[in-house]
Structure 1
Amino acid sequence: MKAALIVVDMQEDFCPPNGSLAVHEARTLAPTINTLLSHPGFTLRVASKDNHPANHISFASNHPAPDNLPFSSFVTMTNPAPGKHTETKPQRLWPIHCVAGTTGADLIPEIDASKFDLYVHKGMDARVEMYSAFADAFGNLDKEVNRSSVDVDLRGVLREHGITDVFCVGVAGDYCVKSTAVDAARAGFRSFLVEDATRCVDAGEGWEEAKRELREAGVGLVKSDGVEVKGLLVEEQL
């Protein structure tokens, strides 16, 4: 057993008080995440970061009024994968956030960045949303398809390190953390989401629906002080 910790999108634009898409209480997660980053049971520690171009499809201001309201408006998104251009899905619109090269895209300083072994920059293709650190919103995992969206083949890197188990934390629990955990399971890893180390955009019904999707995908919902995390140290010592 080898475990990886994926810290999802703990960036300035997702954190109060000044983030353009701030998730309630996101900044307060830092102590719990730092404790996990210091856990000796993790073989690999990964940070994912949204790294959008200014013309990204998810930004409300890139679409004409009146149907361009952040949070409530949707546009139609097309699968960029070869041979799949007839596949579409609705995309919720967001405020401008985590534009590449801006301070909003920086990790918050409260996170101990010295512990990270790998950074994954995602959402770089203006045509398609990418919540997960593994795949875009259409589930494209193939590194050749995804090369314009993400700069790391995360599935490949985890396999190279012999990772068997993935633990996901960060923001937002009902979007990027959920999607990363689900895709980790889909990629063949045992996958866990650490509930007390995440916060959500829609903390009520949105999180309840996310938990249903996680369970259906085979993702375990665990606590930072639960037996699954504590057991990593036992495995490491063995």
Structure 2
Amino acid sequence: MTFALSSTDALIVIDLQNDFCPDGALEVQRGDEIVPLVNRLQQRFAHVALTQDWHPAGHISFATSHPGTHPFETIQVAYGPQVLWPDHCLQGSEGAAFHPLLDTTRAEMIVRKGYNPRIDSYSAFLDNDHSTPTGLAGALKERGIQRLFFCGLAYDYCVHFSAMDAVTLGFTACIIEDACRAIDLNGSVARVNAEMQQAGIIRLYSDMLL
């Protein structure tokens, strides 16, 4: 099976930042391996957008903001369960910068998320309250985009939440699996795969596009 691409398709590159790559503050194993593939994929799309985790110090998602807790624990906050993470992607830091080998020249927009200190933001479209928009959906719809292809980090968190919200917002959502890497925290990959199948999200491999 192959996918013919058109001007109504867009590639959404999720959080391909230093802190999510090896030796970063919140390392996704082998996260840097996808960078050359993502660069090749960008050449196939008329529209490319990048997202960037962009946290202030003391962010609600940091374990250090909750005395007595540890990274990867889950707590309850006003908008529901919140996994606590090591401090990562601090605004203006080297960790928040895109991987140095990522081609950013073809991106027509960069969407920063997670900058509100009181709410986390996994999705490219909505904060974790599932109601506060980032503005990406409107920008894509103004350009006539209908189908979105997701890649990046991490598959079972920000990529997954972005694809799920894309479907809710009326887009067709596809995930390029070999252009992602996962955290797989407490069986999260199996869980999100089931959720995405039920939502009608298409999972494919890059050789169907290149």
TM-score, length of structure 1 as denominator length: 0.83
Show the counterpart of 2:114.
123
Letter in 2 for 1:77: V
Show the counterpart of 2:51.
48
Show the counterpart of 1:111.
102
Deviation of 1:183 after TM superposition, in Å, equals 0.8
Show the counterpart of 2:198.
216
Q: 1:12 aligns with which of 11, 15, 18?
A: 18
Pairwise CA RMSD: 1.4
Q: Aligned pair 1:36/2:37, yes or no?
A: no
Show the counterpart of 2:61.
58
C-alpha separation in 2, matches of 1:126 and 1:47: 21
Q: How does 1:1-238 map to 2 (within 5 A)?
A: 2-16=8-22, 18-39=23-44, 42-65=45-68, 68-71=69-72, 73-79=73-79, 89-140=80-131, 145-146=132-133, 150=134, 153-202=135-184, 205-226=187-208, 229=209
C-alpha separation in 2, matches of 1:25 and 1:210: 20
C-alpha separation in 2, matches of 1:213 and 1:191: 13
Deviation of 1:160 after TM superposition, in Å, equals 0.6
Deviation of 1:43 after TM superposition, in Å, equals 2.6
Deviations 1:86-128 (A, max 9, x none): xxx1101000000111111000011111111110000111111
Q: Contact 1:134–1:180 at 8 Å: present in 2 too?
A: yes
Deviation of 1:22 after TM superposition, in Å, equals 0.5
The unaligned stretches of length 5 or more in structure 1 are 80-88, 231-238
Letter in 2 for 1:107: F
The unaligned stretches of length 5 or more in structure 2 are 1-5
Aligned residues between the structures: 204
C-alpha separation in 1, matches of 2:106 and 2:30: 23
Which protein shows a greater Rg?
A: 1
C-alpha separation in 1, matches of 2:189 and 2:47: 27
Identity %: 39
C-alpha separation in 2, matches of 1:43 and 1:55: 38
Letter in 2 for 1:198: C
Letter in 2 for 1:22: E
C-alpha separation in 2, matches of 1:34 and 1:204: 31
Deviation of 1:204 after TM superposition, in Å, equals 8.0
TM-score, length of structure 2 as denominator length: 0.93
Q: Contact 1:191–1:220 at 8 Å: present in 2 too?
A: yes
Q: Contact 2:60–2:120 at 8 Å: present in 1 too?
A: yes
C-alpha separation in 1, matches of 2:42 and 2:186: 28
C-alpha separation in 2, matches of 1:172 and 1:133: 12
